[in-house]
Amino acid sequence: TIDVRSLMHSVSESTLPALHNSDIKLVTTTDSYTISGDKDLLSSAFINLIDNARKASKSGSTIYFSGAKTDNGFSISVKDEGIGISEEHLEKICDEFYMVDKSRSRKEGGAGLGLSLAALIFKSHEADFKIESTLNIGTTITITFPEIKKEVSDEK
């Protein structure tokens, strides 16, 4: 089991130096909750999402990293105020080696694997992965983890 507050705090701390260098603010809020999974893998995946948001954002903007209880589990979102992703790119965005802006991605050191690996990590945790984006307004990626089912024992 993973305490979501602890996970999100750790991810936030890991991303702060790069965000600071880009003059981008990170706002982190979450409800208290427990999910099951591999903390290191999930941390890597969320760090990648926040770093992608940083790369798509202008200096002085804000990235929102938030968690909330839902009817069927727990959702964690990364929302930026960046350049957005067009409809034609959205359907391919999780493909290996796919880059929306190849020149910016290469300049930033990207190879087009991060989002595809993050999506696989979330899938291995049985989490739903949803991307919403509007050009010149921003992108929100929401990961919804299933509620942890408690085993019922017949023993008394």
- Residue 121 to residues 45, 71, 91, 142, Cα–Cα distance (Å): 7, 23, 18, 14
pLDDT digits (tens, 9 = 90+) for 62-118: 999 999 999 989 999 999 999 887 776 666 555 544 455 544 444 455 544 578 889
Asked if pLDDT for residue 11 goes beyond 80, the answer is yes
- 49 near 10, Cβ under 8 Å? no
Whole-number Å distance between alpha carbons of 44 and 76: 14
Q: What percent of the chain has pLDDT over 70?
A: 78
